[in-house]
Amino acid sequence: MTPQPAAVVRPGSGASSGTAAPRARIVTAWAPSSPADPVAVFEAARRRGKDAMLWYLPAEGFALVGIGATLVLEAQGPNRFADVARRWKEIAGGAASRGASPSGAAGPVLMGGFAFSPGSNGAIWQGFGDARLVVPETVFVMETGNARIQVHRMGHSGGDGSPGSPEIEAALDEGLRVVQDARPVDAGPSGPARELVVEDVPPKDRWEAAVRQAAAAVRQGRLAKAVLARSARVSGEGGFVPGAALNQLRARYPDCCIFAVARDGACFLGATPERLVRLKDGFVDVDCLAGSIGRGATPADDRRLARALLESAKDREEHRVVLRRIVEVLDSLCSSLDAPGEPAIRKLANVQHLFTPVRGRLKEPAGVLELAARLHPTPAMGGYPARAALELIRDLEEIGRGWYAGPIGWTGAGGDGEFAVAIRSALLVGDEAWLFSGCGIMGDSDPQAEYRESCLKLRPMLAALEAAQR
């Protein structure tokens, strides 16, 4: 087998010529900004022809909008997490900063994501890679009612490109102009929405046949749980406006993480309810989200469905498998761990999930990238045990998952940060959008019921795309 290269670090569009010198380092500075809509800032960056990334937690009032790239970290193969984490530690350790932000944070920010598994990117995922994270040229930060612009540039330890240099001041001014250029995103076409053309990939009968094979594998004891994903190719004349789709997702799913990665004209976006891992001040938070049912037409019907989910043997076992794996991983890393004995119900606009929050305190210092490597893929996305489940996915799935169900998020210079599982998502490419949905498969899974559940999980993105047609 050909060995995979370690993480590749290369200057982005924000690095000036000559910055590949051995003593080059990241220089960071910030300035207060007027408040702005993060989605509008993301679209303002796209209008300027910049690659951009949005990380937005509406319920917490926290957002990051990364614009452009001063430095790019890319990695391939099974060691991609470790390679990126090692290089990031080196880069962050040598950075220079002009003071701390109002929240006390200092230093550069790394934003990006990972494919679900190495080599799972099909042609539509060109430019995303197994792992691609960037130190943005500019980051718009919104937290606790305050906003600021943070810029990253390449400098040298010899003194040029210092935090107070004219280049840095000009970069801050340019970042503030992007915020000033942010304007409300058009809601979409006026009048009746045009009908979207939706094609199942693979076709319904072939996917249900794969579900039957996966369920048989669980019954035979080859694995405890499988997860099978499918996609839907959606065509809309004129394509789609990412910002309009993001606005729709924010309005309907304010308790989710709203994310978007715009890259070379494509845009991967979604509203995920599932946190993979958050690390802050030594405390680790992980979501166990597995087991699903729809919402009711009335409050009484909604409560009935919630009770049915709590009493479902299939869903409770699926949830238990996922929780057990999360606890196994964190128990070896944490001095204390809190996981409620019974799952709660987490209600979203279109679906209800069994939900168990898990919190721990790290025994030894670690970064969020290292934690993401240990946790991904959870059985909620990949099945259990992981090796057998991933082999089954390769055998039965007809799609390249790409970044669907992969970790997406950010980390700071000290290793704190957050990654989410990139589900309830779509990749917009030209006039088409590729939507993705997956289901947990147990031994008694019914293929038709699983197909209906997958359709339920596609609804958020379909509704968002209807509102986002050009």
The residues carrying an active-site annotation are 225, 274
Distance CA 199, CA 313 (A): 33
Q: How far apart are the first and last CA of the chain?
A: 47
d(CA 453, CA 445): 11
The structure tokens listed for 271 are: 């509203």
Q: How many CA atoms lie within 13 A of 94 on its CB side?
A: 16
Q: What is the signed CA dihedral for 313, 316, 318, 320, rounded to 10 degrees?
A: -130
- The Cα angle at residue 401 between residues 218 and 125, in degrees rounded to 5: 170
Strand partners, 6: none
Contact 298, 344 (CB under 8 A): no
- Residue whose C-alpha is closest to residue 353's, from 261, 423, 262: 423
Q: What is the DSSP string of 291-337?
A: EEEE--SSHHHHHHHHHHHHH-HHHHHHHHHHHHHHHHHHHTTEEEE
